[in-house]
Structure 1
Amino acid sequence: MTQQQTTDEPHAPEPQLSLCFSSTRRGARLARRLAVEQFTEWTGLAPDSGTAHAVALVTAELASNAITHGRLPGRDFRLTLLLLPQAIRIEVTDTRPERPVRRPGALSASSDAMSGRGLLLVTAYAERWGSESRDAYTKTVWAEVPVPPGTPRG
């Protein structure tokens, strides 16, 4: 079956992209840039739009957490993007399922700490977010950034 929609199909599959990146700062930076580029290609929104900035920020935070807290030497993290009817879903999968994600209220970052607030930003920019372990070897943290109504898709 090709990726093109046929007239017999009632609904086309959601646009999706999934790639692996090295668990390094460079890998996280590339994931952020790719997420914005793919989002703007799917929607036609400008890369400097508010929604594209939100996609960049959420992707950067999730990728940063994956390389900081979910990294095993020699293992990559996976970025998956799905364009949903009213949001873009950003998923970052790492190789440390035994390290659960703590909700922002459970974090104990002091007011002068240099880190520890990333998930607060994700909470502010994402409509909803969460995490799940789909198997014994990985953990996926996901967030859905709302897309303005009437935005072209695909």
Structure 2
Amino acid sequence: MTNPATPTAHSDRALHDARTFTQRFSSTPRGARLARRLAVLQLDRWGIPLASDLSGAVAAVVAELSANAVTHGLVPGRDFELVLTRAPGAVLRVEVSDARGDRRPPASGSLGRPGHADDAGRGLLLVEALADRWSVHDRVPVGKTVRAELDLPRRPQHP
């Protein structure tokens, strides 16, 4: 039996191979735009081309989560944070954290459909459509993190 606190060779390799990008941005519309632009540039550095469907999906997810952090998670004087994590052959994780833990979105799968006249409420529907999973987590010491995960396409195996 393996002690859960003891990393195995497989988990050591996965952690070593994982790539992470972390950046804080001002809680402004300009900060949200910059987060989206830097996210797709980072994906390109990781070998996910700018014009690919995956890059476009991540750009839309980052844009929506960043806009929500600026609009609904704003605490004056506090930034929001973007973390992208890529584990080879597995998942691309997008996490956007803000300092407002009291304003949480509804749980994944329980989003209501906005009416035609509503001018808000569509962003997380887009995230739900593009991401394979999304969830909300408490952020220590304060705030929340909205996490969206996109499964990476498997590359064809060559004989």
Give the structure-2-normalised TM-score: 0.82
1:117 aligns with 2:122: yes
For structure 1, list consecutive stretches of 5 or more residues without a partner in the other structure.
1-8
1:58 aligns with 2:27: no
RMSD over equivalenced CA pairs, Å: 1.9
Q: CA deviation at 1:28?
A: 0.2
Over 4 Å off, 4+ runs:
none
Which structure would you say has the larger Rg? 2
Q: Does the CA contact (< 8 Å) of 1:97 and 1:136 recur in 2?
A: no
Distance 1:142 1:122 in 2: 10
1:94 aligns with 2:75: no
Give the structure-1-normalised TM-score: 0.85
1:26 aligns with 2:30: yes
Q: How many residues end up aligned between the 2 structures? A: 142
Distance 1:116 1:27 in 2: 21
Using the aligned pairs only, state the percent identity.
Answer: 44
Q: Does the CA contact (< 8 Å) of 2:27 and 2:78 recur in 1?
A: yes
For structure 2, list consecutive stretches of 5 or more residues without a partner in the other structure.
1-10
Give the aligned residue type for 2:96: V
Structure number with higher relative contact order (C-alpha < 8 Å, ≥ 6 residues apart): 1
Q: Does the CA contact (< 8 Å) of 1:95 and 1:139 recur in 2?
A: yes
Give the aligned residue type for 1:102: P
Q: CA deviation at 1:90?
A: 0.4
Q: Does the CA contact (< 8 Å) of 1:70 and 1:99 recur in 2?
A: yes
Distance 1:114 1:95, change over 3 A: same
Q: Does the CA contact (< 8 Å) of 2:111 and 2:125 recur in 1?
A: no
- For 2:8, the equivalent position in structure 1 comes to none
- For 2:5, the equivalent position in structure 1 comes to none
- For 1:132, the equivalent position in structure 2 comes to 137
Q: CA deviation at 1:141?
A: 0.3
Q: Does the CA contact (< 8 Å) of 2:97 and 2:139 recur in 1?
A: no
* Equivalent position SS for 1:140: strand
